[in-house]
Amino acid sequence: MEGLIMNYPLTTNTILEYGNSVYHHKKIITYLPNGTRHEYSFGDMYKRCKQLANALTQKFGISKGDMVGTFAWNHGAHVELYYGISGIGAVCHTINIRLSGNQIEYIINNSEDKVIFVDATLVPLLEKIAPRLETVEHYVLINAPEDFKTTLPNTIHYEELIAEQSESFDWPELNENDACAMCYTSGTTGLPKGALYSHRSTFLHAFALMAPNAANIGNTDIVLLIVPQFHVMAWGFPYLCLLAGATMVMPSSNLNPDAIIRMLQAEKITKANGVPTIWLGVYHAMKMNPPKEKLALQEYLVGGSALPKSLIEGFEKDFGIKGTHAWGMTETSPLGTVSRLQTKHGDLPESEKLVVRAKQGTAIPGVEIRIVNEDGTLAPNDGKTMGELQIKGAWVISSYFKTNNQESFTADGWFKTGDVCTIDTDGFMEIKDRTKDLIKSGGEWISSVALESALMAHPKIKEAAVIAIPDEKWVEKPLATLVLVNKEDKVSADELIEFLSRDFVKYQIPKDYYYLDEVPKTSVGKFDKKEIRRLFAEGKLI
């Protein structure tokens, strides 16, 4: 017997219509690549989504299931693309601008994008590969000067495209399981793989994020969306903010620490998201040049890789700003876990509270997590046993786009993350490593993440990346690459070994330290250990 409840599909159109009906007066503020500030309302944005929908269907002949690419920074127009493309039943494929030309070429051909919307400043990246793009019929130029010159074929300016369209458009009836958006993984191993989200997964993920235990965002928040829209849909924040009625501030390419600090101040930002690299930079810039007035920023949500405990502590002690750890992947929409203190932690000393907060946290409702031993058996949630993290839930992919390869999924329907972690008795998960980054020395596992986090707590060290290198006696041993806060202010290996010996036993501590100007990063800002291993193998670490 079924419940007698209305059929109400959970779609991005529902989100857009809700945002317009209840929060039409709320603002989207963009700092454009040229530095100018643009502001308009959800209501204005709503009308432009409808104009875009008319343009897509009538001018370009885009229909349900077609792929439409975006190659753009975070800004109002990109939000319109999220809603306008998905709204007509097409798929909004956000292309990661930081991938290599080869990878970008591959994913555009693989996804079969028919139209690509591209920021003027990013056109040069596409021009190089455009001749080899097999399916793209039109390029739409965003924020381009009128006399903009490009070798891209069949171009039209975004403003011109929508200006001629009507502001009225009836959204088609969509099934909530229809595809809505696609992101490719960053492809650090092998080719990028497409994660194809549904309307339902997008809606539920954004719904889950509002909760106080998750991103905790409501209608009095002003949110800075630092996570790029080309990176796992900006963690769902462009949807979340319409549901929550929160003001959105979009930085486009203004992502250096000083620019971010200026936006935090000028817009009275209350919440923000971003990867650790961003927050590392902001923290050091703020230490160098402390803001005269306390920022309105209450909390930043950080994920993508582990945020060192020392940074969580520093931000809070020095500036009264709370860092909240989250964990997720492209394959999980992305949010899987968030680390928030619970009532029972209230009596812990601050140092132990910090240990809890430095974990990746508990699953949020809508997903489940477990850890599994190498032989496939369930590992215990004892906070000690490491196992591969597996996840299932309402916004986790069931397979990759255009492949029948199910090797990332278990027979009983869980996604194998490739992350190695522990889960404690209270359900708090802590990432220890990527499977491929674990160091196995003398038969024991060493966590590169734990070493990096400890090294980054040293006052002179800004970034640390640890890899495994071959060792005759122990099979593997750790090697650390370091970036100094002040380049001239080196630290001796002996001092570092002494420093680490507080938390690690002898065999776990690296003997080899190398200094870099910058740790190589992947397209999404994570430490690129493949590149560090290459530098080491080629004798280029000195």
Integer Cα distance of 526 and 307 in angstroms: 11
Site string for a second copy, 298-317 (x = CB under 8 A): --------------------
Integer Cα distance of 487 and 461 in angstroms: 10
Report in angstroms how near the CB of residue 53 gets to a second copy at its nearest.
Answer: 18
Identify the residue among 139, 169, 207, 513 touching a second copy (CB under 8 A).
207
The residue (of 423 and 532) whose beta carbon lies closer to a second copy is: 423
| Number of residues counted as binding a second copy (CB under 8 A) | 73
How many angstroms separate the Cα of 239 from the Cα of each of 18, 85, 205, 210?
Answer: 11, 14, 9, 10
Contact of 241 with 215, CB cutoff 8 Å: no
The residue (of 207 and 499) whose beta carbon lies closer to a second copy is: 207
**10 binds a second copy, rule: CB under 8 A:** yes
- Concatenating the DSSP letter of every residue in 117-169 gives EEEGGGHHHHHTTGGG-SS--EEEEES--TT-----SSEEEHHHHHHTS-S--
Report in angstroms how near the CB of residue 212 gets to a second copy at its nearest.
Answer: 3
Residue among 68, 52, 165 nearest 118 (CA): 68
In the block, tokens 């403003």 appear at 159
Residue 37, H or E segment: strand 37-41
The residue (of 188 and 399) whose beta carbon lies closer to a second copy is: 399
Integer Cα distance of 201 and 347 in angstroms: 38
The residues that bridge with 250 in the sheet, in sequence order, are 30
The gap between the terminal CA atoms of the chain, to the nearest Å, is 70
Report in angstroms how near the CB of residue 220 gets to a second copy at its nearest.
Answer: 5
Give the residue numbers marked as catalytic.
185, 331, 440, 445
Report in angstroms how near the CB of residue 162 gets to a second copy at its nearest.
Answer: 25
Report in angstroms how near the CB of residue 326 gets to a second copy at its nearest.
Answer: 15
Residues 388-407 that bind a second copy (CB under 8 A): 392-401
Identify the residue among 34, 102, 168, 219 touching a second copy (CB under 8 A).
219
Contact of 529 with 535, CB cutoff 8 Å: no
Coil, strand or helix at 7: coil
Integer Cα distance of 356 and 114 in angstroms: 47
Residues 46-75 that bind a second copy (CB under 8 A): 64-65
Site string for a second copy, 105-134 (x = CB under 8 A): ------------------------------
Integer Cα distance of 165 and 156 in angstroms: 14
Identify the residue among 94, 103, 110, 201 touching a second copy (CB under 8 A).
201
The residue (of 160 and 426) whose beta carbon lies closer to a second copy is: 426
Q: Which two tokens stand for residue 31?
A: 């700092």
**213 binds a second copy, rule: CB under 8 A:** yes
Q: Which two tokens stand for residue 102?
A: 């080869």
**220 binds a second copy, rule: CB under 8 A:** yes
The residue (of 34 and 220) whose beta carbon lies closer to a second copy is: 220
Integer Cα distance of 432 and 537 in angstroms: 24
The residue (of 218 and 442) whose beta carbon lies closer to a second copy is: 218
**177 binds a second copy, rule: CB under 8 A:** yes
Integer Cα distance of 424 and 33 in angstroms: 44
Contact of 351 with 258, CB cutoff 8 Å: no
Report in angstroms how near the CB of residue 207 gets to a second copy at its nearest.
Answer: 6
**212 binds a second copy, rule: CB under 8 A:** yes
Site string for a second copy, 330-369 (x = CB under 8 A): ----------xxxxx-----------------xx-xx-x-
Identify the residue among 71, 197, 237, 527 touching a second copy (CB under 8 A).
197
**143 binds a second copy, rule: CB under 8 A:** no
The residues that bridge with 484 in the sheet, in sequence order, are 461
Identify the residue among 244, 275, 280, 282 touching a second copy (CB under 8 A).
244
The residue (of 216 and 252) whose beta carbon lies closer to a second copy is: 216
**36 binds a second copy, rule: CB under 8 A:** no
Which part of the chain contacts a second copy (CB under 8 A), choosing from 196-204, 304-312, 348-356, 477-485?
196-204
**269 binds a second copy, rule: CB under 8 A:** no
Integer Cα distance of 178 and 188 in angstroms: 29
Residues 73-102 that bind a second copy (CB under 8 A): 91
**410 binds a second copy, rule: CB under 8 A:** no
Integer Cα distance of 43 and 239 in angstroms: 15
| Angle at the Cα of 99 from the Cα atoms of 98 and 101, rounded to 5 degrees | 115
Integer Cα distance of 124 and 140 in angstroms: 14
Identify the residue among 8, 404, 412, 472 touching a second copy (CB under 8 A).
8
